[in-house]
Structure 1
Amino acid sequence: MSTTATKESATATKDEAARAVERLRVAEARLSRRRQTQCGPSETARAAMRFIYDSADESRPITPTDIAEHVGVSTASMAGILHGLRQGGLVTFTKNPDDGRSKFVVPLDRNADLEDFDPLTTHIRRLAERLSAEDAAVLSHFLDQVTSAVERECR
């Protein structure tokens, strides 16, 4: 293969990667709209639960404010979300021993994981298990860069 053909092939592969990310963004937007009207907890509630589980795994106590800041919503909105999660039997609150006005959010059953709450996350984790360590590292780095670009948008 000539050098020009090799460069064209590499450019086409890189363009396809960019198009794949755009297809993913469109699919996620569609999923978000469907979830708002058709199937269970919102993406914000799902993100909150992932953060609550991750924090519990790290034995790091978190407050409703911590969760609100992490998912990017107001504390008032988070209060409503946490109320729904509590009503659904997913979380409870414990008193902060250092501040009587503050409370921590803890999962009721950490063993439940996200399988029932967010089966898509479980499916994605299973897909990731198929990647080689090298491919996973490259993909993770690329997606972290995409995430940073998305988060910087419209700020």
Structure 2
Amino acid sequence: MTFDTAEDHATTAARAVERLRLAEARLARRRQTDCGPSENARAAMRLILERADAGLSVTPTEIAQSLAVSTASVTGMLDRLHAGGLITFAANPADRRSKFVLPFDRDTDADAIDPVTARIREFALDLPDALADQVAAFLDRVREVVDAECA
């Protein structure tokens, strides 16, 4: 019995993605109880820091839209980040009902907020450019399938 090499490699890649998805799910569960801020809080902090670095402001509504969660969820999350000393708020001069979310300490290292992303970035630096582009394209297609599920 012979195996088609392309199918064998495809199966290997598909199984690796499934192992990654399971590991991400386990990490998300651990972060809900054991590892400080939730995945959404970490994503919000990354967004806040990226916007601050670009000289842009971000509102709680924009954070909710970016994370695809309710504004009520974001309000609670931002309250916890504020209580933890990671963010502060400033009045929006263009809209008195709105506020901007700012990092409290801009010296906060985004990689310290999400060390997993930092490690993945380190691994990616070892990939040849063409292979990195192929991996990125493959993972983008996987992400599209995941995002489309139950949407």
Output the TM-score relative to the length of structure 1.
Answer: 0.89
1:44 counterpart = 2:17: no
1:79 counterpart = 2:75: yes
Question: How far, CA to CA, are the matches of 2:146 and 2:26 in structure 1?
Answer: 17
Unaligned 5+ residue runs, structure 1?
none
Match of 1:53 among 49, 55, 59: 49
Unaligned 5+ residue runs, structure 2?
none
Question: How far, CA to CA, are the matches of 2:58 and 2:35 in structure 1?
Answer: 27
Question: How far, CA to CA, are the matches of 1:128 and 1:53 in structure 2?
Answer: 22
1:116 counterpart = 2:112: yes
Q: Give the deviation of 1:84 after TM superposition.
A: 1.0
Match of 1:152 among 140, 143, 148: 148
Report how many aligned residue pairs link the two structures. 150
Asked if the contact 1:114/1:121 (under 8 Å) is kept, the reply is no
Bigger relative CO (Cα 8 Å, ≥ 6 apart)? 2
Question: How far, CA to CA, are the matches of 1:78 and 1:95 in structure 2?
Answer: 17
Residue 105 of structure 1 is matched in structure 2 by: 101
- Secondary structure of the equivalent of 2:98? strand
Residues 68 and 20 (structure 1 numbering): CA distance in 2 closer, same or farther, change over 3 Å? same
Q: Give the deviation of 1:82 after TM superposition.
A: 0.5
Question: How far, CA to CA, are the matches of 2:29 and 2:35 in structure 1?
Answer: 10
Question: How far, CA to CA, are the matches of 1:55 and 1:17 in structure 2?
Answer: 35
Asked if the contact 1:93/1:104 (under 8 Å) is kept, the reply is yes
Residue 130 of structure 1 is matched in structure 2 by: 126
Q: Give the deviation of 1:133 after TM superposition.
A: 1.5
Q: Supply the RMSD in Å over aligned alpha carbons.
A: 1.6
